[in-house]
Amino acid sequence: MKTPAETRRIFRALGQQHPAADTELHYENPFQLLVATILSAQSTDQGVNQVTPALFARYPDARALASADQDELEQAIKKTGFFRQKARALLGMSEGLLLHHRGEVPASMDALVALPGVGRKTANVVLGHALGVPGLAVDRHVLRVSNRIGLAASEDPEVVEQQLCALLPPERWTTASDTLILHGRRVCKPRPLCDRCAVRDECDYYRAGTVVKAVAPGVPGRAGRKAPTTAAPKGKARRGSGGS
């Protein structure tokens, strides 16, 4: 795994490649971000953003959402996928907010993950972006990218969260997560675009690869690399977990 000094250098380069990294979900308050993040599971932020304007207009707060008809709610969020499961989670989450938090989103990891449909990833997104509490969300992109680069060495999201948090000061956690997510979406995809990566020379996955003779697209005179044909170093993910 990388040292703190190497980690700072890596995130400095990634920050230049993905300036002003932030969540791509649209929201105006913690409740809206909590709803949007639940909907984003197995979906894309763009897909969620197409659904939420009408959803928030109809159900602006926990009280309104908790009283929603489940069939109508399912139809309202159907485009995000897994709509029956998500509708149950949204109803349970809203009821939990009313019952235990007077309808407000709590600024506590323990309180958030006690709500139906809310795991550590969702809680960290809401804490870090809407409540001013340091949080480092680990989704499939963060899991894939951090293991490939060598910032983490586990397939367990909670372990990776702990490893990344140990390398960074709390005030950097949320931005670091956003940066790794964008890098995973745009560059370090399941089939990585290593020729576009700002940290390839620091990346364990890239350095374990084999040089191909073809010149990398868009990089005249530079030999490209392909995904390793041999096993990646122990503890490093060779492939992402898939999805968007």
Of 139, 178, 204, 236, which is the active-site residue? 139
- Supply angle C-alpha 239, 15, 227, rounded to 5: 25
The owner of tokens 């931005």 is 175
Q: Active-site residue 204, yes or no?
A: no
Q: Which two tokens stand for residue 8?
A: 């700072």
- Under a CB-based contact definition with an 8 Å cutoff, are residues 35 and 55 in contact? yes
For CA atoms 118, 123, 124, 125, give the dihedral sign: positive
Closest CA to 92 of 116, 68, 65, 63: 116
Of 2, 86, 121, 236, which is the active-site residue? 121
Q: Active-site residue 236, yes or no?
A: no
The owner of tokens 């990344």 is 164
Q: Report the catalytic residues.
A: 121, 139
